[in-house]
Amino acid sequence: MPKLRVHNFSISLDGYAAGPDQSREDPLGVGGTRLHEWAFATEAARAHHGLDGGATGIDDGFVARSNEGIGATIMGRNMFGPIRGAWADDEWRGWWGDDPPYHHDVFVLTHHPRAAITMQGGTTFHFVDDGIEAALERAFGAADGGDVMLGGGASTIQQYLRAGLIDEMHLVIVPILLGGGERLFDHLDDGPVGYECLELVSSPSVAHVRLVRMPSSAVAT
């Protein structure tokens, strides 16, 4: 059965997935880019963005495996861009240029309708304004039997956790303290329940934690 998966989601030692004061100039908040330095140093991440070089090893293996079997992606509007409220025009087309690194259908959660955007390389952004379950249903359909990747930000993952819809989470604990920003495990009432840790491994840079939802916690979609 296809799964909804979170991969390479970085948090600080104090639990923040983004730093404070997020803006167009600082989309990950002050200090937030430090959360992702480990990934962009890997060979797999660089290749995914059309770049040469990069490190191999534990971190590279996790990044490389994260794309296996993925047929579509869901992300929050904040991950897509800094525009808030109604879409004034179609000028903003994402952070990634004309050829985003997804190369499949991407479903962006929003409260404001917008026509789909077809980009180079096979990426099409679809804007879903009727809820997280509708986005997941459309993403599974587009994935055609493949799994769906759930991107950020933290609030998007929180919504799917509260609904019991995430099957697997790969979290990366980065040894820094941000002191403020957006925490992954806020607003979850009693926290993420029904998951067990199947893998815990550290590289010289970060610690990788793979959590899988136990069968008894499965929620019908």
For the cut 90, the answer to whether the pLDDT of residue 27 exceeds it is no
The terminus-to-terminus CA distance of the chain in angstroms comes to 12
Least reliable range by pLDDT among 6-15, 88-97, 140-149, 193-202: 88-97
24 compared with 118, residue with greater pLDDT: 118
Residue/partner pairs of 139-142 with CB below 8 Å, 24 or more apart:
139/72, 139/73, 139/74, 139/105, 139/107, 140/2, 140/72, 142/71, 142/72, 142/104, 142/105, 142/107
For the cut 90, the answer to whether the pLDDT of residue 121 exceeds it is yes
pLDDT reported for residue 216: 66
Average pLDDT estimate for 84-99: 89
- Looking up tokens 């495996």 gives 65
Least reliable range by pLDDT among 26-35, 73-82, 104-113, 181-190: 181-190
Looking only at Cα atoms, what is the longest distance across the chain? 45
What SS3 class is residue 92?
coil
* Domain 4-22+29-81+97-185+202-208, second-level architecture: 3-Layer(aba) Sandwich (3.40)
pLDDT reported for residue 221: 42
Average pLDDT estimate for 95-123: 95
- pLDDT tier, 48 (very low <50, low <70, confident <90, very high otherwise): confident
For the cut 80, the answer to whether the pLDDT of residue 133 exceeds it is yes
Q: Which two tokens stand for residue 214?
A: 């136990």
For the cut 70, the answer to whether the pLDDT of residue 2 exceeds it is yes
219 compared with 179, residue with greater pLDDT: 179
| pTM assigned to the model | 0.92
Cβ neighbours of residue 58 under 8 Å, at least 6 residues apart? 201, 202, 203, 208
- pLDDT tier, 33 (very low <50, low <70, confident <90, very high otherwise): very high
Tell me the pairing of strands 182-183 and 147-150.
unpaired
- The torsion of the CA quartet 121, 95, 29, 149, rounded to 10 degrees, works out to -30
